[in-house]
Amino acid sequence: MRNCILCLFLLISFAAFCQEQPHYTSADKRLEAFQIRNHLLDESILQHVDVDNIGPTVFGGRITDLDVNPDDPTRFFVAYATGGLWYTENNGTTFTPVFDYEAVMTIGDLAVDWKNGHIWIGTGENNSSRSSYAGVGLYVSRNMGKSWQHMGLPESHHIGRILIHPKQPNTILVASMGHLYSSNKERGIYRSTDGGQTWEHVLFVNDKTGGIDLVFDPVNSNIVYASMWERERRAWNFKGSGSGSGIYKSTNAGRTWSLISGEGSGFPMGDGVGRIGLDVTRDKGKTVVYAFLDNLNRRPEEEKELSDDLTKESFKSMTNDELLNLNDEKLTQFLRSNRFPTKYTASSIKEMIRKNTIQPVQIAEYLEDANTVMFDTPVVGAEIYRSNDGGKSWFKTHKNYLDGINFSYGYYFGEIRASAQNSDKIYVMGVPIVISEDGGKTFTSINGENVHVDHHALWVNPNKAGHLINGNDGGLNISYDDGKNWIQCNTIPVGQFYYINVDLQTPYNVYGGLQDNGTWKGPHNYSYNVRWQNSGKYPYESLGGGDGMQVQIDSRDQTLYGGSQFGNYFRMDGTTGQRKFITPRHELGDRPYRWNWQSPILLSKHNQDILYMGANKLLRSMNKGDDFTSISPDLTTGGKVGDVPYGTLTTIDESPFTFGLLYTGSDDGLVHRSMDGGFTWENITTGLPDKMWVGRIVSSVHAEGRVYIALNGYRWDDFTPYVYMSDDYGDSWKSISDPLPHEAVNVIKEDPENEDILYIGTDHAVYISTDRGSSYMTLGNLPYSPVHDVVIHPKEGHLIIGTHGRSMYKTDIKPLRELLKTGLSENPLYVFNIPKQRWTSFWGRQFGVFRGGSDPNVSIHIYSEQGGEASMKVFIGEDLQLNSIGLELKKGIASYVYDLTIDEEKVEEYEKLLNENNKTEIKVTSADNGSYYLQKGKYTIVITKGDLISKQELVVE
């Protein structure tokens, strides 16, 4: 009986565990989602609209790999974490994207067969960060990126390395890391001998250990080294090491493998072995193998010299009497150096102890949260090991700790390179990039002043010593003198925005916070050029550093609120630029606030002196952030033990109809509502999926009780779209996500003018609904990059799109609104309102023999139910036709350029008509470029397609 009870208990426990973690989305569903995305694009009336990138381009997003043509190093490919693949053939002066419209844009590794023009891409970033997106396996292009073919391994999710056999190009080796947030068996090393048609799983350790690195012996390509990495991430914790981690060797081109970092090898073993990077070089005919280890074993406690300095640990065992006897000056120094609020002084602390309001241990607890665990963990950290006998034995190259390379987050790094000419010269990529010229005994930083930190890729020229190409979180750098000097090659719009916003200026500005590149402000009409290099002023300006997060703008005086990760926010005067740190601290005696990586802030729609901030509680300031008050209990499930803050608020909104009608969402899946300004709160999560990250909650501008919500399962490897709406303040919820493909949703917004239009940003696209979520269409001309935020400018009718990979985009949604107003089904052919054109005598002017001219044009937006041949005719008055242009109409809404010219044979008749009632004679003469242009006046644009005709007025003033 006792055995039966035990079995029943185990079954219940197992069922509870399975229920706790949502199931990951299968690769089949994700690849099917790609087909649905493309189908929704093919059927979309927005597949051909203009979508313009508005930068910034001055910084580069996270690079994950490089592949350089060794015979011509001015030609190379650059792979980005979420920005796709780019190609240059002029040494990084300009780049062309070649991987924008496949199932995913995230890349972990690439390998190029330069002789045959074959490119292999392993999708899924090879880092394991918060926004390391999952891939769908392998792609190959056999025509240098013109077209791509999916080549399997879809459950790999994250690929660490691809090798192409140098003598047998159909033999491919792949290091599969596997899922980031869930266990799976499709991890380890895979091998194909038929160009990827079939794959053999040649090395498997366990369902949490994947392949992270592979490297050939430079002389004998039958010898291959592989590193395996055990890791497990949750939203609240990251375990970046395990006994499954280790180094393996194959002597038959990857068919079989043996562990070479085991017992007696000299290489660390056990639960503390983290990520391992590898490289191989030669020394006097012998193979030299280097390994860069993230050693997560704890540092041994050293005997500390006796000191009377106060530390956080001092208070954990201190008695009340011992604290009361502390020197006031010493206690004050501790408080100020640890950034306690100024209201806490030696005197006030001792008074609280006397009254038994707090205990000494609470002074230590005041400084402890998940960030403390993450950043202050005393791990061994970065270590370099070397083998001079092909991996039979290993020794550590340095005596002391390599502090300052990995810190406690080595999972984000792990790459090492060895010189082909000098076996003692190695390069290690961490927060800085460092070089050693004595085999790893000592290191020097080569992180130049124009080189960003956090390094993930490096190419070392095997034929020219000192020539380096480096990829990091801030883009691309090239050096020809071993890192003494660097060229920065950031000219492409790769930026990972978390959040964007706009102001109400004329012309207006856009704002946004980015991963590892701070917070920026710039003009909405930015287009890429290099003229700024002459003026010295880039159109965008930096507002703050770190990982940039949310921005709020006071429309009255342009006061800005912005900040960086974990709730570190400031207020900036819009005129003087003066800053004030405003993040509130908890009360001594209370547990610290839990701040999300992307802590939300919100200016009240009713009074912009009122600022809300979300920790695990909702905080409100009535005086622009000078002081905050908690106006809620803990609005989460209470957090979890781990090294990542969890149980935090992720989104806040306030009804535009009623002050104090507030909504919050948390990372652990709770949604709350207050209808009285925070005095009382109700949990309105019932009816929503459990444990999903609440990505966005939006209170409608059209109906007081209407609210929208987007939930995200990415941190469970669940890519189901979760989008809901309520018309009763969240008392009940209705799913509006059924027509969407299986893609995690990051944001939902509603159109401020038309309540039926919704905008959805997912990990791969923007979807727009014109019937409040019953159906969706894909927005075209946008790379399939993650979309983290969208904003609709209330005056200009522009949709601004913040991507987490390709910076910001802008498109005009006024034509869509206009078409819906007139009735979509009633207009198989429709010409939209044409903006007025301002006439100038500079039209057609040539400014010099070697300088371009000023050629005008106007974009005319046309809706056509079906594409096909059509004509555009320009009339003045009823009968005089000035020009006729043939068009090939595209299906849906598209823009067509008219250059404002008239036919030369119409000039005389046109001039006569203009002068009929004109006192001053008008002469229509040809411009410098030989063209004749419209004069000031009113004209009619007539579009004809078969029996269909649509007209619109064009005004030149």
Where does the pLDDT of residue 850 fall: very low under 50, low under 70, confident under 90, or very high at 90 and above? confident
Helix (H) or strand (E) holding 516: none
Q: What is the pLDDT of residue 865?
A: 95
Q: Do 576 and 605 meet the contact criterion of CB atoms below 8 Å apart?
A: no
Q: Can you tell me the distance from the alpha carbon of 668 to that of 280, in angstroms, rounded to the nearest whole number?
A: 45
Q: Can you tell me the distance from the alpha carbon of 46 to that of 813, in angstroms, rounded to the nearest whole number?
A: 10
Residue whose entry in the numeric block shows the structure tokens 């690929």: 159
Q: Do 892 and 863 meet the contact criterion of CB atoms below 8 Å apart?
A: yes
591 HSE (CA, 13 A, CB side): 11
Q: Which residue has the higher pLDDT, 824 or 257?
A: 257
Sign of the Cα pseudo-torsion (901, 902, 907, 911, in order): negative
Sign of the Cα pseudo-torsion (149, 154, 158, 160, in order): negative
Q: What percent of the chain has pLDDT over 90?
A: 89
Number of residues written out for the chain: 957
Q: What percent of the chain has pLDDT over 70?
A: 96
- Cα 132 to Cα 158, 207, 526, 717, 918: the distances in Å are 9, 19, 29, 11, 68
The two structure tokens encoding residue 490: 């950031």
Q: What is the pLDDT of residue 13?
A: 37
What is the per-residue DSSP string for 526-581? ----STHHHHT--SSEEEE-SS---EEE-TTT--EEEEETTTEEEEE-TTT--EEE
Q: Can you tell me the distance from the alpha carbon of 322 to that of 318, in angstroms, rounded to the nearest whole number?
A: 6
CA–centroid distance for 601 within its chain: 19
Give the range among 130-134, 223-227, 548-552 with minimum mean pLDDT. Answer: 130-134
Q: What is the pLDDT of residues 618-642, one digit of tens each?
A: 999 999 999 999 999 999 999 999 9
Give the range among 682-691, 895-904, 920-929 with minimum mean pLDDT. Answer: 920-929
CB atoms inside a 10 Å sphere around CB 865: 17
Q: What is the pLDDT of residue 305?
A: 46
Tell me whether the omega of the peptide bond preceding residue 378 falls within 30 degrees of 0, making it cis.
no
Q: Can you tell me the distance from the alpha carbon of 294 to that of 409, in angstroms, rounded to the nearest whole number?
A: 9
Q: Which residue has the higher pLDDT, 822 or 720?
A: 720
Where does the pLDDT of residue 11 fall: very low under 50, low under 70, confident under 90, or very high at 90 and above? very low
Q: What is the pLDDT of residue 864?
A: 97
Query: For the chain, give me the number of helices (H) and strands (E)?
Result: 10, 67
Sign of the Cα pseudo-torsion (537, 539, 540, 541, in order): positive
Q: Can you tell me the distance from the alpha carbon of 759 to that of 748, in angstroms, rounded to the nearest whole number?
A: 6
Residue whose entry in the numeric block shows the structure tokens 């727009």: 768
Where does the pLDDT of residue 757 fall: very low under 50, low under 70, confident under 90, or very high at 90 and above? very high
Helices (H), 556-600: none
Region 898-904: what's the mean pLDDT?
Answer: 96
Reference 746, options 766, 762, 768; nearest CA is: 762
Whether residue 770 is predicted with pLDDT greater than 90 in this model: the reply is yes
Reference 719, options 702, 741, 738; nearest CA is: 741
Q: Can you tell me the distance from the alpha carbon of 269 to that of 248, in angstroms, rounded to the nearest whole number?
A: 13
Whether residue 315 is predicted with pLDDT greater than 50 in this model: the reply is yes
Region 913-924: what's the mean pLDDT?
Answer: 85
Q: What is the pTM of this model?
A: 0.95
* Whole-number average pLDDT of the chain: 94
Q: Can you tell me the distance from the alpha carbon of 410 to that of 455, in angstroms, rounded to the nearest whole number?
A: 11
* Phi, psi (rounded to 5 degrees) for 282: -125, 145
Where does the pLDDT of residue 377 fall: very low under 50, low under 70, confident under 90, or very high at 90 and above? low
The two structure tokens encoding residue 264: 């007696």
Whether residue 122 is predicted with pLDDT greater than 90 in this model: the reply is yes
Reference 333, options 355, 309, 317; nearest CA is: 309
Where does the pLDDT of residue 921 fall: very low under 50, low under 70, confident under 90, or very high at 90 and above? confident
Give the range among 259-268, 273-282, 293-302, 739-748 with minimum mean pLDDT. Answer: 293-302
Residue whose entry in the numeric block shows the structure tokens 């003198």: 481
The two structure tokens encoding residue 777: 């269409």
Sign of the Cα pseudo-torsion (89, 94, 98, 102, in order): positive
Region 234-252: what's the mean pLDDT?
Answer: 97
Whether residue 224 is predicted with pLDDT greater than 50 in this model: the reply is yes
Where does the pLDDT of residue 373 fall: very low under 50, low under 70, confident under 90, or very high at 90 and above? low
Region 36-52: what's the mean pLDDT?
Answer: 98
Whether residue 18 is predicted with pLDDT greater than 50 in this model: the reply is no
52, β-bridge pairs: 810
Whether residue 19 is predicted with pLDDT greater than 80 in this model: the reply is no
3-state secondary structure of 379: strand
Q: Can you tell me the distance from the alpha carbon of 75 to that of 606, in angstroms, rounded to the nearest whole number?
A: 55
Q: Which residue has the higher pLDDT, 17 or 458?
A: 458
Compute the radius of gyration of the chain from its Cα atoms. 31
Reference 200, options 161, 253, 142; nearest CA is: 253
The two structure tokens encoding residue 245: 């981690």
- What is the side-by-side order of every strand in the sheet holding 444-445? 415-418, 426-429, 433-436, 444-445
Q: What is the pLDDT of residue 20?
A: 66
Q: What is the pLDDT of residues 160-205, one digit of tens each?
A: 999 999 999 999 999 999 999 999 999 999 999 999 999 999 999 9
